[in-house]
Chain A
Amino acid sequence: MRVAAEPGVGWQPGYIVAAVAGVGVVFAAASAPILDEDIWWHVLIGQQIAETWQFSALGNAWAPFGNQDWTTTQWLSELVYGVLHALGGWSGVTSLRVAIAALTVSAIAVTVLPRRQSLGATLIFVVVVAGIALWLSRDRPQALVLPLAVVLARWLHSSLRGYVPPWWQVALVTALWSNLHGSWLLVPGVFALATACRLLDGEALSRHLLVLVVVSTAAGLANPTTFTGGLLAIPRFATHTSDLVEWGHTPLLSSYGAMLMALMAAIVIAWSRPGKVPRSEILIVLSMSAFGLVAIRNVPLALILLAPVAADRVSSALPGDRNRGEAERAMLRVIVAGIAAVGLAAATLAWSRVDPLAGAPSASIVRALPAGSETRVLNEYALGGFLAAQGPAGTQVVIDGRADRYSLEYKGEYFAALRSLTDWQEFVQRTNPDVAVLATTTPLSVELELAGWKVLERDSGVVVLARPAQVTP
């Protein structure tokens, strides 16, 4: 990290807090087992891509219902997960999470901390890394693009100050992003926002920025799945995800939204200090706040994109740092480096000792499933991927976590049946399951038991039920 030489700017004790927070988040990511309910099928899809090099009609073997021509929008992430699983099992998958967490936190530190008032910058750093900690502990394609989001945040920030990144860098990052995750549309969106910001501040229309909008859009389309259904899948998410919590609006006072709320509050308080705030900054803060509030899953991206602007604003509202001598700064460097080194070593140790399956549904659930040729499971939505990946060979689920793969009608009938709101018998008859794996709090589990299905296992809030005919040896 380059240390600025300006008086009063540079290494400060506040960085010790930042170092502790940063390594704490990495440590938390390393010590968590697999918690994401979708990683199971991402790995399976990745393995199938590695075998067939096809991006459509995936995962039909375990999911007989839904669109059989479904196209993935994150093939590269899935391929990486599939390869890591082949190399190191589920610990191989979680190793990527630790690396991404360390990379993202470091990138945010480099973006937010230098050349700013240390207390303000540290505050923003801590809020942002705490706000994305939840996502860094998950194994999901979205987490893989968070380091790229930090790069985008730096570009947005620098674009407003006259520095426009080279087009080839933008093209490379967007192309990588679009192959990792469908959220790549943020890149042209952010450059369009930067263009509007400069106009709002009274500057001439920036052709460079407009070129970047075009370049990033073109680069994002440079994706093997673009013209085989991947592009069309993106708008489908908007209509197919109404039942999913992470696509719901962000409640500001929830654990998801608290840090976004804190960041917005810090900015607004800093705005209330004397001096006018540029219109461009207001536009960025309002648009990114709205983006974060639209859906819970947007929160980490919004936090990262707001971070440099927030760090600038909060730093400027606070008195300047005290000058420190070279010896004192050297000592601080050593302390921070020591914390980082010890923290990363501890994180690596924690990762090596944690059982990646400790957070997964109990093994007894899988053991209770009948082994044999094909077992069709009427499953809880969140358990679909897990059962497909960890269940006996030939396990088929009636739904998995690929929300855009299933028609709205099918999902409506599925969720209605689980809540036993309508004629659930018709849905059960149609999907013809051999067993049901449901949460004990799902009303259908009670109905099935009442209808004569036999309980094979009940563990950790999940119940396995066998269809009456299945009970007979």
Chain B
Amino acid sequence: MLLTIHVTPRPLHLLAVVAGGLLLVYSASVPIVDIDLWWHRRLGVEILDQQAVSGLGNSWAPFGDQDWTTTQWLAEVMYAWLYSLGGFSAITAVRLVAGLLILVFLGWTVLRGRSSLTAVPVYVTAVFGLALFIVQDRPQTLALVGAVVLGGWLDHILNGDRSIPAWQVGLLTWVWANLHGSWLLVPAVLALAALALLVERRTPLARATGIAAAVAAGAGLLTPAGLSSALAPLRFTQRTTFLGEWNQVELLAPYGIPLALMAASAAVCWARADTVPRAEAVVVLGVSVFALTANRNIPFGIVLLAPLLASIAGRSAHPQPDRSPPGTAVLAGSLAVVLATAAIVTHSRVDPAARAEPRVIASVLGQEPGTVRVLNTYEAAGVLLEFSGGNVELGIDGRADRYDPDFVARYFGAVYRLEDVDGVLETIRPQAAVLRQSEPLATHLQSRGWVATHVDGDYVLMEARPTERGAD
């Protein structure tokens, strides 16, 4: 895609530059907080070694589907390659690059050709809404770059009355599908747009958009995971009831407020407009409902809604033409350079593993002779794997779709509600447990005679009592 900046900088655009730049600096200052990056990287190494995307990670995860197929092989290979080049700092640098791309593409789709009075507030709200998501090193962050492009296309189709060339749609979806399982958004969103256009009887554009959706569906299947990638959402819905990021969005919780503001703004603009295109209403409502279904959908909802909201606000507000005082462009450029430099400097000074918990416990396990089988808190899996040097067999790791739903329910039931603890211990046969001290099972195991040997932040390492000691 050729990125041409058509934005003539206005005074309000300085606010957008500052908001985006500060987010980038913030992103640079955050160490790795994603709990899954650690095993993503190790899977990448395995993929490169074995030249296969199935049957991965079995050495550290003896339970679950041993033929499990990754839906994000390209991201994992990239993480492995980056690590070999520059360690974890290289991975967090990619997060910065992805963040920059997201902010620039978002700026392009939201600010370009619109009055700064209506577009800048939309951009700033979207930037705040993305703040918690683009600081994470995960394949989904990479997919967000594609989602910003998709959001621009959506606005282009509905308000620009032009279709998107099928080859562009196919190319984006193909890359996206190899990076992350959320690629299904492309055909789904385009199909929704086609349906919405049919409601407005814009048949030729609806047909072209429908064809684009079909192309996207086909391109998305062109991955080593094939159909398995398309079915991934079904697998996740059965196994993720215990995970907060898959929970429904509470609009007035911190995650949901920017999304709530955007949806409410669209509604208010419609209320004050003389007419509202039906297709636009259908798409905005559809995307809003999608975003509300899970916390992890929020960033996708935000970047898909932002350009549409900018169009809606621009139509309803009838703002006065922008005026651009001399020097605004220079000031905006200077601000961007200063903030980008600050982000780079900040990144270079941050230890990427500073928040990796329980790293100390993982090191202890790494020094044990032979692999240690661990009954672990779900969120600790990646760090235990990475910082023990792979010297652990985990009860569960972050690949929720790899495990049978019954296994996941039993495992979480034992950790949080002490349900069938004996049964779970019999299944896992752990030599040690690494749990948060606040988890009921941690207290329970100690009352059964397990010995706490190390405390690391919130976590405690316990050795199994001899009679319950598993695979030695």
Contact = CB atoms under 8 A, between A and B. Distances in A.
Interface of A: 248-254, 265, 267-269, 271-277, 279, 281-282, 285-286, 289-290, 293-294, 419-422, 424, 441-443, 446-447, 450-451
A293 B249 CA distance: 11
A70 to B, nearest CB: 30
Contacts of B249: 251-252
A441 B420 CA distance: 10
A273 B267 CA distance: 11
Residue picked from B250, B271, B292, B419, most chain A C-beta under 10 Å: B271
Given A250-B250, A253-B293, A420-B440, A443 B418 contact: yes
A290 B252 contact: yes
A273 B276 contact: yes
B260 to A, nearest CB: 8
B271 A269 contact: no
Q: Which 9 A-B pairs have the closest CB atoms?
A: A277-B271, A443-B440, A272-B276, A249-B250, A271-B271, A446-B418, A443-B418, A251-B248, A272-B281
B355 interface: no
A66 to B, nearest CB: 25
Contact of B285 (A251, A269, A273, A294): A269
Interface of B: 247-253, 260, 264, 267-268, 270-276, 278, 281, 285, 289, 292-293, 413, 416-419, 421, 438-440, 443-444, 447-448
A248 B247 CA distance: 14
Nearest to A252: B292
A286 B268 contact: yes
B438 A421 contact: yes
Contacts of B292: 252-253
Given A249-B253, A276-B271, A443-B418, A268 B285 contact: yes
A325 B249 CA distance: 49
Contacts of B419: 441
Contact of A421 (B251, B273, B440): B440
6 contacts: A268-B285, A274-B275, A276-B274, A294-B252, A441-B413, A443-B440
B270 A271 contact: yes
B270 A268 contact: yes
Residue picked from A424, A442, A446, most chain B C-beta under 10 Å: A446
Residue picked from B247, B249, B418, most chain A C-beta under 10 Å: B418
Contacts of A442: 417
B197 to A, nearest CB: 16
Contact of A447 (B274, B289, B413, B443): B443
Contacts of A268: 267, 270, 281, 285
A249 B275 contact: no
A252 B251 contact: yes
A127 to B, nearest CB: 16
B278 A419 contact: no
B248 A254 contact: yes
A144 to B, nearest CB: 27
Contacts of B264: 286, 289
Contacts of B440: 419-421, 443
Nearest to A274: B275
A419 B272 CA distance: 51
A191 to B, nearest CB: 23
Nearest to B260: A293
Contacts of A251: 247-250
Nearest to A290: B252
A206 B250 CA distance: 36
B291 to A, nearest CB: 11
A274 B421 contact: no
A421 B266 CA distance: 45
B283 to A, nearest CB: 12
A15 B98 CA distance: 56
B261 to A, nearest CB: 11
A443 B471 CA distance: 27
B271 A281 contact: yes
A443 B441 CA distance: 8
Nearest to B275: A274
A285 B417 CA distance: 41
Contacts of B247: 251
A276 B443 contact: no
A277 B272 CA distance: 6
Given A273-B276, A420-B440, A446-B418, A252 B248 contact: yes
Residue picked from B267, B281, B439, B447, most chain A C-beta under 10 Å: B267
Given A272-B278, A422-B443, A443-B416, 11 more contacts: A252-B249, A253-B293, A267-B267, A271-B267, A272-B276, A274-B276, A285-B267, A286-B264, A421-B438, A443-B418, A443-B444
B452 to A, nearest CB: 14
Contacts of A290: 252
Contacts of B251: 249, 252, 293
B462 to A, nearest CB: 15
Contact of B421 (A250, A267, A446): A446
Contacts of B281: 268-269, 272
B417 A443 contact: yes
Contacts of A282: 268, 271-272
A420 B444 contact: yes
Contacts of A269: 281, 285
A410 B296 CA distance: 35
A265 B417 CA distance: 38
A421 B252 CA distance: 29
B274 A275 contact: yes
B471 to A, nearest CB: 25
A442 B278 CA distance: 51
Nearest to B415: A443
A230 to B, nearest CB: 28
B53 to A, nearest CB: 33
A249 B260 CA distance: 13
A36 B384 CA distance: 45
B438 to A, nearest CB: 5
A248 to B, nearest CB: 8
Contacts of A450: 444, 447-448
A293 B444 contact: no
Contacts of A446: 418, 421, 444
A179 B22 CA distance: 52
B410 to A, nearest CB: 13
